[in-house]
Protein backbone atom coordinates (compact mmCIF):
# COMPACT_ATOMS: atom_id res chain seq x y z
CA UNK A 1 0.00 0.00 0.00
CA UNK A 2 1.39 3.38 -1.04
CA UNK A 3 1.00 6.94 0.22
CA UNK A 4 0.38 10.20 -1.61
CA UNK A 5 2.38 13.27 -0.64
CA UNK A 6 0.60 16.13 1.11
CA UNK A 7 1.79 19.42 2.57
CA UNK A 8 -0.20 18.92 5.78
CA UNK A 9 -1.81 16.21 7.86
CA UNK A 10 -5.49 15.50 7.05
CA UNK A 11 -8.02 17.09 9.36
CA UNK A 12 -11.29 15.58 8.14
CA UNK A 13 -12.19 11.96 8.76
CA UNK A 14 -10.82 9.30 11.10
CA UNK A 15 -7.07 8.68 10.83
CA UNK A 16 -4.29 6.79 12.53
CA UNK A 17 -0.96 8.61 12.49
CA UNK A 18 2.42 6.87 12.51
CA UNK A 19 6.03 8.01 12.12
CA UNK A 20 7.42 7.75 8.60
CA UNK A 21 10.70 5.89 8.86
CA UNK A 22 13.80 6.65 6.80
CA UNK A 23 14.55 3.13 5.62
CA UNK A 24 13.72 0.41 3.09
CA UNK A 25 10.06 -0.60 2.94
CA UNK A 26 9.91 -4.35 3.44
CA UNK A 27 7.24 -7.04 3.25
CA UNK A 28 8.08 -10.10 5.35
CA UNK A 29 6.74 -13.53 4.33
CA UNK A 30 7.20 -16.52 6.64
CA UNK A 31 5.98 -19.99 5.69
CA UNK A 32 7.65 -22.66 7.78
CA UNK A 33 11.35 -22.70 6.97
CA UNK A 34 10.88 -20.27 4.09
CA UNK A 35 11.54 -16.58 4.83
CA UNK A 36 11.21 -14.00 2.08
CA UNK A 37 11.90 -10.26 2.36
CA UNK A 38 10.54 -8.14 -0.48
CA UNK A 39 11.13 -4.49 -1.36
CA UNK A 40 8.37 -2.13 -2.40
CA UNK A 41 9.37 -2.85 -6.01
CA UNK A 42 8.86 -6.56 -5.46
CA UNK A 43 12.58 -7.35 -5.63
CA UNK A 44 14.03 -9.76 -3.05
CA UNK A 45 15.97 -8.25 -0.13
CA UNK A 46 16.84 -11.34 1.87
CA UNK A 47 20.38 -11.84 0.59
CA UNK A 48 21.27 -8.26 1.52
CA UNK A 49 19.95 -8.55 5.10
CA UNK A 50 20.82 -12.08 6.30
CA UNK A 51 20.62 -11.06 9.96
CA UNK A 52 16.96 -10.04 9.51
CA UNK A 53 16.18 -13.32 7.75
CA UNK A 54 17.75 -15.15 10.68
CA UNK A 55 15.71 -13.14 13.19
CA UNK A 56 12.46 -13.94 11.36
CA UNK A 57 13.33 -17.64 11.04
CA UNK A 58 13.99 -17.81 14.79
CA UNK A 59 10.46 -16.70 15.73
CA UNK A 60 8.00 -19.23 17.15
CA UNK A 61 5.10 -18.31 14.81
CA UNK A 62 5.79 -20.14 11.57
CA UNK A 63 3.37 -18.52 9.14
CA UNK A 64 2.60 -14.80 8.74
CA UNK A 65 2.97 -11.74 6.50
CA UNK A 66 4.15 -8.40 7.90
CA UNK A 67 4.67 -4.90 6.52
CA UNK A 68 7.46 -2.79 7.91
CA UNK A 69 10.66 -0.85 7.37
CA UNK A 70 14.28 -1.97 7.47
CA UNK A 71 16.34 0.51 9.49
CA UNK A 72 20.02 0.93 10.37
CA UNK A 73 21.09 3.35 13.09
CA UNK A 74 24.55 4.92 13.19
CA UNK A 75 25.71 7.51 15.72
CA UNK A 76 22.19 7.87 17.05
CA UNK A 77 20.62 8.63 13.66
CA UNK A 78 18.99 6.55 10.97
CA UNK A 79 21.39 5.98 8.08
CA UNK A 80 19.87 5.52 4.63
CA UNK A 81 23.38 5.39 3.20
CA UNK A 82 24.20 2.38 5.38
CA UNK A 83 21.15 0.61 3.95
CA UNK A 84 22.26 1.36 0.40
CA UNK A 85 25.72 -0.03 1.14
CA UNK A 86 24.05 -3.40 1.69
CA UNK A 87 23.04 -3.58 -1.97
CA UNK A 88 26.42 -5.08 -2.83
CA UNK A 89 27.20 -8.03 -5.13
CA UNK A 90 29.80 -9.57 -2.80
CA UNK A 91 28.36 -11.90 -0.16
CA UNK A 92 31.45 -11.45 2.01
CA UNK A 93 30.91 -7.71 2.08
CA UNK A 94 27.24 -8.11 3.03
CA UNK A 95 28.13 -10.56 5.80
CA UNK A 96 30.70 -8.15 7.21
CA UNK A 97 28.26 -5.22 7.18
CA UNK A 98 25.47 -7.32 8.72
CA UNK A 99 27.72 -7.80 11.75
CA UNK A 100 29.04 -4.24 11.91
CA UNK A 101 25.77 -2.40 11.20
CA UNK A 102 22.87 -4.81 11.85
CA UNK A 103 19.47 -3.81 10.56
CA UNK A 104 16.26 -3.77 12.56
CA UNK A 105 12.73 -4.28 11.33
CA UNK A 106 10.17 -1.66 12.38
CA UNK A 107 6.73 -3.29 12.15
CA UNK A 108 3.60 -1.30 11.30
CA UNK A 109 1.07 -3.65 9.69
CA UNK A 110 0.06 -7.30 9.57
CA UNK A 111 -1.44 -8.80 6.41
CA UNK A 112 -1.62 -12.43 7.46
CA UNK A 113 -1.90 -13.54 11.06
CA UNK A 114 -0.05 -16.56 12.46
CA UNK A 115 -1.95 -19.62 11.37
CA UNK A 116 -2.92 -18.14 8.00
CA UNK A 117 -5.89 -15.82 8.68
CA UNK A 118 -6.02 -13.25 5.84
CA UNK A 119 -6.23 -9.69 7.18
CA UNK A 120 -6.03 -7.81 3.88
CA UNK A 121 -9.71 -6.84 3.92
CA UNK A 122 -9.80 -6.11 7.64
CA UNK A 123 -9.99 -2.47 8.78
CA UNK A 124 -6.84 -0.92 10.20
CA UNK A 125 -7.79 -1.24 13.92
CA UNK A 126 -8.21 -5.01 13.51
CA UNK A 127 -4.87 -5.32 11.70
CA UNK A 128 -3.17 -3.19 14.34
CA UNK A 129 -4.63 -5.29 17.16
CA UNK A 130 -3.33 -8.45 15.47
CA UNK A 131 0.09 -6.84 15.03
CA UNK A 132 0.30 -5.77 18.68
CA UNK A 133 -0.69 -9.27 19.82
CA UNK A 134 1.96 -10.76 17.52
CA UNK A 135 4.58 -8.37 18.87
CA UNK A 136 3.74 -9.22 22.47
CA UNK A 137 4.04 -12.91 21.68
CA UNK A 138 7.49 -12.63 20.08
CA UNK A 139 8.94 -10.20 22.67
CA UNK A 140 11.77 -9.81 23.48
CA UNK A 141 12.91 -11.18 20.11
CA UNK A 142 16.03 -9.49 18.73
CA UNK A 143 15.79 -7.20 15.71
CA UNK A 144 12.12 -6.17 15.90
CA UNK A 145 10.43 -2.91 16.88
CA UNK A 146 6.79 -1.88 16.90
CA UNK A 147 6.02 1.45 15.30
CA UNK A 148 4.10 3.86 17.56
CA UNK A 149 0.67 5.09 16.51
CA UNK A 150 -1.70 7.80 17.63
CA UNK A 151 -5.16 9.09 16.79
CA UNK A 152 -4.21 12.49 18.23
CA UNK A 153 -3.32 14.95 15.47
CA UNK A 154 -1.40 17.17 17.90
CA UNK A 155 0.93 14.28 18.72
CA UNK A 156 1.45 13.66 15.01
CA UNK A 157 2.26 17.35 14.52
CA UNK A 158 4.91 17.06 17.25
CA UNK A 159 6.40 14.06 15.44
CA UNK A 160 6.47 16.06 12.24
CA UNK A 161 8.44 18.84 13.91
CA UNK A 162 11.00 16.27 15.01
CA UNK A 163 11.35 14.82 11.50
CA UNK A 164 14.50 15.52 9.57
CA UNK A 165 16.80 15.72 12.59
CA UNK A 166 18.19 12.20 12.48
CA UNK A 167 15.07 10.42 13.66
CA UNK A 168 11.96 10.44 11.48
CA UNK A 169 11.34 11.05 7.80
CA UNK A 170 7.87 12.50 8.34
CA UNK A 171 4.42 11.27 9.34
CA UNK A 172 2.05 8.77 7.70
CA UNK A 173 -1.73 9.06 8.02
CA UNK A 174 -3.79 5.89 7.50
CA UNK A 175 -7.60 5.82 7.20
CA UNK A 176 -9.04 3.93 10.17
CA UNK A 177 -11.82 2.30 8.18
CA UNK A 178 -9.62 1.30 5.25
CA UNK A 179 -8.60 -2.18 4.16
CA UNK A 180 -5.04 -2.85 3.05
CA UNK A 181 -4.99 -1.73 -0.59
CA UNK A 182 -1.91 -3.04 -2.46
CA UNK A 183 -0.59 -0.65 -5.11
CA UNK A 184 -3.01 2.12 -4.16
CA UNK A 185 -2.03 5.46 -2.63
CA UNK A 186 -4.56 5.06 0.15
CA UNK A 187 -2.37 6.66 2.82
CA UNK A 188 -1.11 10.23 3.19
CA UNK A 189 2.51 11.14 3.87
CA UNK A 190 3.79 14.49 5.08
CA UNK A 191 7.49 15.28 5.04
CA UNK A 192 9.33 18.37 6.30
CA UNK A 193 10.51 20.61 3.50
CA UNK A 194 13.70 22.60 3.85
CA UNK A 195 15.44 25.05 1.55
CA UNK A 196 19.05 25.72 0.57
CA UNK A 197 20.85 28.23 -1.63
CA UNK A 198 23.00 26.45 -4.20
CA UNK A 199 25.43 27.40 -6.96
CA UNK A 200 24.49 26.30 -10.48
CA UNK A 201 27.71 24.57 -11.50
CA UNK A 202 26.36 23.08 -14.72
CA UNK A 203 23.26 21.99 -16.59
CA UNK A 204 21.94 19.23 -18.78
CA UNK A 205 19.91 19.62 -21.93
CA UNK A 206 16.52 17.94 -22.00
CA UNK A 207 16.25 14.60 -23.75
CA UNK A 208 16.24 15.12 -27.54
CA UNK A 209 16.11 18.87 -26.96
CA UNK A 210 18.35 21.92 -27.36
CA UNK A 211 16.77 23.52 -24.27
CA UNK A 212 17.84 23.13 -20.67
CA UNK A 213 16.33 20.17 -18.84
CA UNK A 214 17.99 20.33 -15.42
CA UNK A 215 20.25 22.56 -13.37
CA UNK A 216 23.14 20.88 -11.55
CA UNK A 217 23.56 22.16 -8.01
CA UNK A 218 26.68 22.66 -5.95
CA UNK A 219 27.79 23.64 -2.45
CA UNK A 220 31.24 24.71 -1.30
CA UNK A 221 33.03 22.28 1.03
CA UNK A 222 35.49 23.10 3.82
CA UNK A 223 38.34 23.23 1.31
CA UNK A 224 36.57 25.87 -0.75
CA UNK A 225 35.82 23.45 -3.59
CA UNK A 226 32.41 23.24 -5.25
CA UNK A 227 30.86 19.78 -4.82
CA UNK A 228 27.95 18.54 -6.91
CA UNK A 229 25.02 17.84 -4.55
CA UNK A 230 22.00 17.25 -6.79
CA UNK A 231 19.76 18.76 -9.42
CA UNK A 232 16.51 20.53 -10.08
CA UNK A 233 14.38 20.00 -13.17
CA UNK A 234 11.28 21.92 -12.10
CA UNK A 235 11.75 24.50 -14.86
CA UNK A 236 8.86 26.23 -16.58
CA UNK A 237 8.68 25.47 -20.29
CA UNK A 238 8.00 29.11 -21.17
CA UNK A 239 11.20 30.19 -19.42
CA UNK A 240 13.50 27.53 -20.86
CA UNK A 241 14.56 29.35 -24.10
CA UNK A 242 15.78 32.46 -22.28
CA UNK A 243 17.30 30.43 -19.45
CA UNK A 244 19.15 28.23 -21.95
CA UNK A 245 20.71 31.28 -23.62
CA UNK A 246 21.70 32.63 -20.22
CA UNK A 247 23.32 29.37 -19.23
CA UNK A 248 25.14 28.85 -22.51
CA UNK A 249 26.73 32.31 -22.12
CA UNK A 250 28.24 31.12 -18.83
CA UNK A 251 29.75 27.91 -20.19
CA UNK A 252 33.21 27.39 -18.75
CA UNK A 253 35.08 24.37 -17.40
CA UNK A 254 35.40 22.86 -14.88
CA UNK A 255 32.09 23.94 -13.32
CA UNK A 256 32.55 21.81 -10.22
CA UNK A 257 35.99 21.92 -8.63
CA UNK A 258 35.29 19.16 -6.09
CA UNK A 259 33.01 16.17 -6.61
CA UNK A 260 31.53 16.47 -10.09
CA UNK A 261 28.69 14.74 -11.98
CA UNK A 262 29.90 11.53 -13.50
CA UNK A 263 32.25 10.74 -10.63
CA UNK A 264 32.00 7.40 -8.85
CA UNK A 265 28.81 7.19 -6.83
CA UNK A 266 25.75 4.98 -6.48
CA UNK A 267 23.73 7.77 -8.13
CA UNK A 268 25.76 7.73 -11.36
CA UNK A 269 23.92 6.88 -14.56
CA UNK A 270 24.82 6.72 -18.23
CA UNK A 271 23.86 10.40 -18.58
CA UNK A 272 25.93 11.54 -15.59
CA UNK A 273 28.80 12.67 -17.83
CA UNK A 274 26.56 14.49 -20.31
CA UNK A 275 26.52 17.95 -18.79
CA UNK A 276 27.72 21.47 -19.53
CA UNK A 277 30.03 23.14 -16.95
CA UNK A 278 29.35 26.75 -15.98
CA UNK A 279 31.09 29.64 -14.30
CA UNK A 280 29.98 29.54 -10.65
CA UNK A 281 27.94 32.74 -10.80
CA UNK A 282 24.27 31.77 -10.61
CA UNK A 283 22.66 31.03 -7.25
CA UNK A 284 19.25 29.39 -6.83
CA UNK A 285 17.12 28.58 -3.82
CA UNK A 286 15.72 25.04 -3.90
CA UNK A 287 13.42 23.02 -1.67
CA UNK A 288 14.55 19.53 -0.67
CA UNK A 289 13.43 16.76 1.65
CA UNK A 290 16.33 14.46 2.53
CA UNK A 291 20.13 14.45 2.53
CA UNK A 292 22.12 11.25 2.06
CA UNK A 293 25.94 11.22 1.97
CA UNK A 294 25.93 15.03 1.63
CA UNK A 295 23.69 14.95 -1.44
CA UNK A 296 20.04 15.69 -2.07
CA UNK A 297 18.49 12.23 -2.18
CA UNK A 298 15.76 13.25 -4.63
CA UNK A 299 15.31 15.96 -7.19
CA UNK A 300 14.72 19.40 -5.68
CA UNK A 301 12.13 22.05 -6.45
CA UNK A 302 13.37 25.37 -7.81
CA UNK A 303 11.97 28.26 -5.79
CA UNK A 304 13.78 31.27 -7.22
CA UNK A 305 17.06 32.68 -8.48
CA UNK A 306 19.10 34.56 -5.86
CA UNK A 307 21.05 37.41 -7.52
CA UNK A 308 21.44 38.92 -4.05
CA UNK A 309 23.41 35.92 -2.81
CA UNK A 310 27.17 35.50 -3.31
CA UNK A 311 28.08 32.02 -4.62
CA UNK A 312 30.70 31.63 -1.90
CA UNK A 313 27.94 31.87 0.70
CA UNK A 314 26.50 28.58 -0.57
CA UNK A 315 28.18 26.11 1.79
CA UNK A 316 27.37 22.73 3.30
CA UNK A 317 26.65 24.42 6.61
CA UNK A 318 23.10 25.07 5.35
CA UNK A 319 22.24 21.39 5.16
CA UNK A 320 24.10 19.96 8.15
CA UNK A 321 21.81 18.12 10.60
CA UNK A 322 20.36 20.34 13.29
CA UNK A 323 20.73 17.62 15.90
CA UNK A 324 22.25 14.18 16.17
CA UNK A 325 21.05 11.24 18.17
CA UNK A 326 17.38 11.82 17.47
CA UNK A 327 16.74 8.18 16.61
CA UNK A 328 17.95 6.79 19.93
CA UNK A 329 14.64 6.77 21.78
CA UNK A 330 12.78 5.42 18.76
CA UNK A 331 15.14 2.46 18.35
CA UNK A 332 15.67 1.56 21.99
CA UNK A 333 12.78 -0.85 22.12
CA UNK A 334 9.99 1.71 22.45
CA UNK A 335 6.60 0.05 22.09
CA UNK A 336 3.22 1.42 21.20
CA UNK A 337 1.01 2.49 24.07
Q: Which residues pair with 276 in a beta bridge?
A: 203
Domain hosting residue 73, numbered range: 22-146
The verdict on residue 332 lying in a domain is no
The verdict on residue 331 lying in a domain is no
Residue 337: its pLDDT value, please?
34
Looking at the structure, do residues 74 and 63 belong to the same domain, yes or no?
yes
The verdict on residue 325 lying in a domain is no
Looking at the structure, do residues 4 and 97 belong to the same domain, yes or no?
no
Task: Report phi then psi at 316, rounded to 5.
Answer: -65, -15
**In this structure, what CATH number is given to the domain that contains residue 263?**
2.40.50.140
Looking at the structure, do residues 124 and 205 belong to the same domain, yes or no?
no
| Contacts for 97 with CB less than 8 Å, ≥ 6 apart | 82, 85, 86, 88
Looking at the structure, do residues 14 and 26 belong to the same domain, yes or no?
no
20 has pLDDT over 50: yes
Residue 63: its pLDDT value, please?
96
Looking at the structure, do residues 14 and 57 belong to the same domain, yes or no?
no
Residue 29: its pLDDT value, please?
97
Q: How far is 255 from 279, CA to CA, in rounded Å?
A: 6
Looking at the structure, do residues 169 and 306 belong to the same domain, yes or no?
no
**In this structure, what CATH number is given to the domain that contains residue 173?**
3.30.1490.70
Confidence of residue 265 (pLDDT cuts 50, 70, 90): very low
More confident residue, 80 or 102: 102
| Structure confidence by residue, pLDDT tens digits, 114-147 | 988 999 999 999 999 999 999 999 988 899 999 9
The active-site residue, picked from 4, 20, 174, 189, is 20
Task: Provide mean pLDDT across the span 204-231.
Answer: 96
**In this structure, what CATH number is given to the domain that contains residue 133?**
3.30.470.30
The number of domains in the chain is 3
Residue 174 annotated to the active site: no
| Structure confidence by residue, pLDDT tens digits, 189-203 | 998 878 999 999 999
| Contacts for 25 with CB less than 8 Å, ≥ 6 apart | 39, 40, 67, 68, 69, 70
Looking at the structure, do residues 12 and 77 belong to the same domain, yes or no?
no
3 has pLDDT over 70: yes
pTM of the shown model: 0.75
The verdict on residue 333 lying in a domain is no
Amino acid sequence: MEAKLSESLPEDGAWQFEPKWDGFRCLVFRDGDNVDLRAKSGKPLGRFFPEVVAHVAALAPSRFVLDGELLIAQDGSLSFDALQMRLHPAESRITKLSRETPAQLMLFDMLQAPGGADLMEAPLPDRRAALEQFYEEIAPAEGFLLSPETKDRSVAEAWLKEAGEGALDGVIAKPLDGAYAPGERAMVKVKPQRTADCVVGGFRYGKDSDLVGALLLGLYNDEGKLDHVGFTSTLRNAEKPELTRRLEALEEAPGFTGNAPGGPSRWSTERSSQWVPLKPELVVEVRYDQITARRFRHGTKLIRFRPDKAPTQCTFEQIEPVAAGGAARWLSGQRAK
